[in-house]
Every structure is written in C-alpha cells, then in structure tokens.
Structure 1
C-alpha cells in the first residue's frame, strides 16, 4: 500500500519535473529565437556598415569624377560666356541694322501710301473721264443712229419712189403694148370706184441662208366723186408658213412682236379688223386691216398702208410666194383686187 502511494507520488513528481523541463525547453527556445534575432540584426548592421563603406568608396570615386566634370563644365561655361559676349556684340550690330531697316521700311511704306493715294485720285479722275466720254459717246451714237434711221428712211423712200416710177413706166408700157388684149379688163377696172396696187422692192440675200426681204406700200385711191365708207384692206400671203409680216400696225396690246407699235405724222394708223386676227393669219395667211381713225375715203383721195416688211427664208420654199391685196368698203362689199401682185419665184 505504501509502495503504491509512493509510486504515485513519484509519478506525480516525474510529471511535474517533465512539465518543468518542458517549460525550461520553451524558455530556452524563446531565448534561442531572441539570440537568433539579435544575430540577424547584427548581420544586417554588419551588411549596412559594409554597404556604407562601399558607398563611401563609391562616393569618393564619384566625387573625383564630379569634380573633374565640374572643371570641364566650368571651362565650357567660360567658353560659352566668351561666345555669348561675341553673340551680344553681333546682336547689337544686328539690332542697329534692323532699326535702320525699319526706318527705311517705314519711309518706303509712307512713300507707297502717298503714291497709292495719288494713284487712287488719278484712277477716280480717269473713271470720271471715262463716264463722261461714255456719256458723250452714247449721245453721239444716239445722234448717229438717228441719222442712220433718217438715211435708211430716205433710202427706203427713194427705193419705193424708184420702184413706183419703174412700176408706172412698166405698166404704161404694158398697157400701151397690149391695149387691145386687155381692153375689157381695163374697162372693168375703170368701173371700180377704187384703184389699189402694191409698190414694193425686193432685197435679195447676200449670203446663202439669209432671208429675202420685201419692202413695200399698199396704195388705195378713190377715183370717183363719191365718198367711200369704212375701207378695209386684206393682204393675203400664200404659202404663209415661215413668213414674217410686219408693218405700222397700232395695237392696244402687244399682239404681235413683229408689228410696229408707234405713230408717225407722215403715215396713217392701221389696226387689225377682227379680234381673232391671229387665227386668220395662222390658218389662212390673211391680214385684215382697217384705218384706226379714218372712217371714209373722200373723192379722189389716196390712202396707203406704208412701210410693211415681209421676210421669208428662200431655202424653205419649193413654190412661188404670192402676195395679193383686196380692198373692201361699204359701197363694194364683194371687194376689189389690187391691180398687181407680188410674186417671188
């Protein structure tokens, strides 16, 4: 019994000693770790000191190199200062030259501005002179054009007069030569109260492709002792396609661009008889006209439709162009044909 108790006590003591030894071992381990940490720190310090020593040697070498570089840079700096002085001297010279050039340039610009102002004044004077000359030229051209118009009118009158004289001489010759053959016809004409005829001239083309122009008058004469009322003129053109007819026709509106819309003291005014005159022209080639103010032809009085123009292209016609005239009045409602026709072959 006592042995058992003693064994238990020994066992307990052994356990306590084991626990103590374990704690001692843990303590020693902790101290060993602390020593190892201190050793590591000492190694780091040693490495640092070694690095510092190495850095100091490098610093010394770098310092020597830096001092050499400083000396080299200082020498270059002195060189640069000398060059800068030279450049400053050259710059001052250049600035002086620039100032001189600026003065010259300002003087040149001032002179150019004065010359420009003078040139502008001269240009304005020339423009005014040009406008004055243009105005004078326009007035002169108007006078020349008026003179040309007068000469043209005189030429047309001379042409018409010569044509009339030629036509009269020709008709007298024909009447004298063929008096017996046309006796009855002449007697018939003498029975008519009106004598009407064309007086015309033909302007042939100067070049191929130019149109033919007919200039003429239509004369109507009352050869009786009675007054003829409401005279009407009909001019018929065959074929009428491609033919342009114009004359001194008064219109209330611009009915036809080829008609003259003016009044002269030397000619009567004529106007279209029917409101649908354009249709009659397009379909039949008939131009129906009446005096605009004169309502009657007094005994032995002569009226005329003056200055008509007929223009047509010769190349477009394969047949003869025939222009006929007819006169109507209240006393001759069936109409009286003109004594002559205009025929272009």
Structure 2
C-alpha cells in the first residue's frame, strides 16, 4: 500500500511539472492567439488589398476603354482630316472649273449679244428691202463726157417751247436741198447731241416694226425711220441718232426734202449747254455735208 502511494516529494515534483507544462501551453496558446490575430489582420488587409486591387482593376478597365475610344476617335478625326484635305483639293479643282465655265459663259454671252445685234441689223435691212424692192429708179440716159457737180446744203428751222420749269421742247424741221447739177440719192441723217445723255428724238419718225404695225403712209410724204434696231441704246451710248427714208429717194438738182415736225425734249437736269448738230450722208455718191446751223440751248 505504501509502495503504491506517491511520495510527497514526487507529488510535488509532478505538480510542478504539470504547472510548468500548463504554463508552456498557456504561452503557446497566447502565441497562437497572437498569430491568429496577426493572421486575421493579414486576412483583413488581404481583403482590403483585394478590394483595392478590384477597384484598381475597374479603373484600369475604364481607362483601357477610354483609351480605346480615344484611339477610335483619333482614327475618325484623322480620316475626317484626310477627307477634308481631299475635299479641299477637289474644291480647288471644282472652283477652277467653275471659273473657267464662268469665263466661257461671259464670252458666250458677249458673242450672243453681237449675234443678236447683227441678226437685228439683218432683220432691219430685210424689212427695209421689202419697201425698197422694185422701187430703184434706173437711169436710162447717162450724161456723156460731162463732169457732174455734187453740192447740197442743209439747215435747221426750229422754235423753242417752254412748257414748264423742268422741260423745254424744241420743235423744228431739217431741210435738205440739192444745189448741184447731179442727182443725189437716199440721204442718211445724223443728229449728234452734246451731252450724249440728252439724245432724244420724237415726231414722225418710226422704227421698222412701227411701220409694219401702222402701215405705209399713203399721202406720198417721205417716211423717215430709225435704220438701226437698237437705235435707242446707241443714242445714249454715243449721243447720236440716225434717220433715213423708208423708200428710195432721189433728189434732182433743185429738189428739197425735209424731216418735218421733229421734237426734242430737253430736261432742266442738264446744267451745261445742250448742243445739237446735224450731218447728212449720201452713201451712193460718197458725199457728206454738215448742217449749216446748230441748235444750242443753255439754262
């Protein structure tokens, strides 16, 4: 019995042993707890890092998408710039063609105006020819061995009528007399105005179209016409108005003809003197004279 019982010293020894062992285990437990706490902290840090990494990843993805979009936009801008450059070059070429076409159109318009002018002249000559056809007088007897003297005079007979403060009317006749010893044919009369803007002539003077509308004067009087179809435009441009007989006219020695009752209205807008001169041309005889007097008006 006694052998089986533990001795006091042994019991104390064993108790001390267990105390030490418990202390070591407690130390290990504390160390384990510290490690656990450290691991937990590491785990929390790891989770935070994962969140941060995830957040950074999201930001990276957004940046990559933005970069991709910017790259696409850059490509589009580059293509647009290239396209604009190409369009710019095309515009230059197109502008060049448009300028060339504009110049050609101007040239065509000028030629068209000239063509219309000549067509109008031809039309006027054709109309005049209808009235002059078969009316040319042929001379059956020619003077032999005789030198004919060509001589004619012309003058204005005018009066001035003041209708109001703004307009003055000049009424008059232009007389032409054959004072030579040979016949003169078809006088062509020119009224020259200075200043040019004053060029206006009214009275019993018609255009060819007016003659066709109103008919030929059956009274036997000489009918005077404007030989040019664009006489009104020319009158303001050159200050000249031309008049010729509709039918062939032959002035025998001593004969007289005249442009009767013509009217020239003069407006007060002309502050400088208005001067009207006259000239007579006999084309067949290549003979021309100046009207002996002129019409002069000053305010």
Would you tell me which structure has more helix in proportion to its own residues? 1
Greater relative CO (CA pairs within 8 A, separation 6+): 2
TM range (shorter): 0.3 to 0.5
TM-score (norm 2): 0.45
TM-score (norm 1): 0.39
